[in-house]
Structure 1
Amino acid sequence: MRYQNMFETLKKQEKMAFIPFVTLGDPNYGLSFEIVKTLMASGASALELGFAFSDPVADGTTIQASHLRALKHASMAKNFQLLKKLGVIILISL
């Protein structure tokens, strides 16, 4: 429902949504934190946060490369710790 509200509000304001994608842990968790924090402070409408995994075949080469870089030090626990530190509300699509 939050996405629907966001898009309805933006439409009324005749604005477009800015929804960047970030692979958590790429290139490292410290920089990921700063990137996400900056995007949030800069007015991103929403964020798509990726959790690195070993076989991202559905993604293009740029995102595949980010997954491979993040996998060098990524973990699910670290991803969730980063989200908690950011105060991110998690919407999971299945």
Structure 2
Amino acid sequence: MNASLVADRTWMRNFGVVNFANAVLDAPENTDAVAEVVCRAREAGYKVGYVECFTHVNVVSPKKFTNERCALREVNTEAALKALTDAYDGLIIPTLAQIE
């Protein structure tokens, strides 16, 4: 009986937890949400970088640049990113629901 418990514990430590963690990480709900957050984070970073770049250029250039040509000029990228990260915090993954 004791050997069986030791074997079960060893299997759980070596394989069970890893399989469960992989099931959570590979769940479509998780991978889709992470991909969306990464996309929105890139957009937010692009917009901030674009503004920072033309701000620095305007210091030394006689011609003044604006964000007029920025593809994300009218988009509130920060709010979109915040909304997605908040949604990710409440994400429901079916594999997690199976835990007692």
| Structure-2-length-normalised TM-score | 0.23
Identify which of structures 1 and 2 has the higher relative contact order when contacts are C-alpha pairs closer than 8 Å and 6+ apart: 2
Largest Rg, 1 or 2: 2
Structure that is richer in strand per residue: 1
TM-score (norm: length of structure 1):
0.24
